[in-house]
Amino acid sequence: MSAAPMNLVVFLARAGAGSRRSCDELVRSGAVTVNGETVTFPRQKVGEGDVVAVNDVPVVLRALRYVLVNKPRGVASTRSDPHAERVIVDLVPDGRALFPVGRLDVDTTGLIVLTNDGVLANRLMHPRYGVPKTYSVRVRGKVTRRALASLRQGVVLEDGVTAPAVVDLRKQSAKTALLDVTVHEGRKRQVRRMFQALELPVEELHRRRYGPLSDKGLSPGGFRELSADEVDGLRRAGEDVDTAVAAEVEGDPVPLAAVEPPAADERD
């Protein structure tokens, strides 16, 4: 355990027992003990040497890790894929113990965070209130003012109208156009489907920003550990998501490490 005392509910969340809300309920239910004594006050301080247990099973803090990867084309953004030559966790030393936060298609390049922090991953991957993600998109065809207006107001897809996107048309040539598009939703293949609905097939798609993180200085296939300030930025983004969904029913926690999760919806 860290030498710095922390609230019991924070300790439980960081130990992977659930989100802070679910851990708060766990403590209040009487399922948590500290040094063998039942504790029902979520903000009770625990420190180094304290033994915390849930339903008599000891829980310990894990060494949390946060890695930013610039996924190249041809790499699957999963922990395993029998149809892919490479998977993203193999690009990082000891990456098999990490979990990709969201997914990108095999042919899509760009930023993905790998972590073993399930609580933060849950927040960042909420399908409707996820963190902003900026893509560089090359499409085939002419991008009209009407198409730009549709992207900025919401595009009608088979699973509903998308949330408004921030769009910047950077270049229009005779046959193709280059745009920057920022979305915060996490629908399956959302960016590609938005342009397909406007009859603008995507030729290249690259995620260059993820929340407060950018691909500056990170070559395709490269990775780096996030700094403490960058992790704090992700946590703040996750807290914004948590606030947005506070009134909603909480979903199941994200499985981590040895358990391969079901396919995520966030694929672009």
Each domain of the chain, given as residue ranges in start order, spans 6-58, 66-128+213-244, 133-210
Class of domain 133-210: alpha beta
> What is residue 236's predicted lDDT score, i.e. its pLDDT?
81
How many Å apart are CA 186 and CA 34, to the nearest integer?
39
Reply yes or no on whether the pLDDT at 150 is more than 60.
yes
Q: In terms of pLDDT, which residue wins out, 247 or 93?
A: 93
CATH fold match for the domains 66-128+213-244 and 133-210 = yes
pTM of the model: 0.74
How many angstroms separate the Cα of 207 from the Cα of each of 35, 179, 203, 216?
A: 47, 12, 14, 12
| Mean local confidence (pLDDT), 59-71 | 90
- Look up the CATH number of domain 6-58: 3.10.290.10
**pLDDT tens-digit readout, 70-89:** 999 999 998 877 777 889 99
- Look up the CATH number of domain 66-128+213-244: 3.30.70.580
**pLDDT tens-digit readout, 205-229:** 999 999 999 999 999 999 999 998 8
Q: What is residue 75's three-state secondary structure?
A: strand
> Is 215 considered catalytic here?
no
Q: Confidence band (pLDDT; 50, 70, 90) for 246?
A: low
Set 24, 81, 105, 232: catalytic member? 105
Distance from CA of residue 163 to its chain's centroid? 18
> What is residue 216's predicted lDDT score, i.e. its pLDDT?
94
Of 108, 75, 129, residue with least CA distance to 193: 108
